[in-house]
Amino acid sequence: MSKPTVLITARCHPWLIDKLDEQFTVDYRPSISYEELLESIGTATGLIVTTRLRIDAAVIDKASQLQWIGRLGSGLELIDVAYAESKGIRVASSPEGNRNAVAEHALGMLLGLMNHLYRSYTEVQQGLWRRDENRGTELAGKTVGIIGYGHTGSQFAKLLQPFGVTVLAYDPYKFGFASGYIREASLEQIQRYADVISFHVPLTAETRHMANHAFFEALEQQPFLLNTSRGKVIHLQHLRQALEAGQVRGAALDVLENEKLATYTDAEHALLQWFGSQPNVLITPHIAGYSHEAFEGMAKVLYQKLFHL
């Protein structure tokens, strides 16, 4: 008797392929296109995805045998979860597997930004030894605003504990988590008091472009801004204007509104080049949750969730 099929549409740790291979025929196609997915999904019992392909109603309607969808990592915005569940398809994700990687990356970017590490390094490469111009700002004693207190937001707060900061955490869907240096706060309190603001939210209609003109105009402390969540949470043109106006002291971005650089318009190219020329901006290519440990961790967490281990 032939085994049921699992279709894997993205790169994943070999551990997961080996485990699935014990129960399924694994169809590992990390470069599969959306059109190819529509043609192939009909025979699959399980589907493993990341953020590369949209799993919409058209895909789900073709998936006549599909029982479950496994999302490596966090964020389900590319999956029509409600429609999948209406068809009896279970959806699971694995944010626990990479939350520490995201938190460490955010902390690293913040310390690099506050201490001008990248800027001063590139200046030394150019033969410049500028000490006064690269005088750092200490994190100790600052107020850090965390927007979104789920897996990554709470882990980031945990890593901040040794620095003696006050954490103001805003999450409209979580309550009763305040403890010690971590305080529950409103968005307005973060805008008023925070020296650092870090986004850890999913992309929803509520969070899309939540960091816009109105958000930046309400800031009172000229904070450093971090985004390791989703690019469309921040309106990049508005962030540029906030940086130019001095409303934001610096920005560290692991995500962009459009991460497919080959598709950029002239305006998008110009905006990215502007950010890249700023000494108080750091951009990394969506790697915060992609450490070696997280790559394996996401696979193991997802397998455990899918098969209730």
Considering the candidates 39, 244, 259, 293, report the single residue annotated as catalytic.
259
CA distance 214 to 144: 20
DSSP letter string, 182-221: EEE--HHHHHHH-SEEEE-----TTTTT-BSHHHHHT-SS
Considering the candidates 230, 235, 238, 249, report the single residue annotated as catalytic.
230
Q: Are strands 224-227 and 196-199 parallel, antiparallel or unpaired?
A: parallel
Q: Are strands 44-49 and 68-71 parallel, antiparallel or unpaired?
A: parallel
Task: Please classify residue 132 by burial: count the beta carbons closer than 10 Å to its beta carbon, then call 0-12 exposed, 13-18 middle and 19+ buried.
Answer: exposed
- 307 contact partners, CB below 8 Å, separation of at least 6: none
CA distance 17 to 10: 11
CB 307 within 8 A of CB 20: no
CA distance 182 to 157: 8
Number of Cβ atoms within 10 Å of the Cβ of 233:
23
Residue 259 annotated among the catalytic residues of the structure: yes
CB 94 within 8 A of CB 301: yes
Residue 230 annotated among the catalytic residues of the structure: yes
Q: Are strands 90-93 and 68-71 parallel, antiparallel or unpaired?
A: parallel
Cα-based angle 71, 234, 243 (whole degrees, multiple of 5):
145
- Residues with active-site annotation: 230, 259, 286
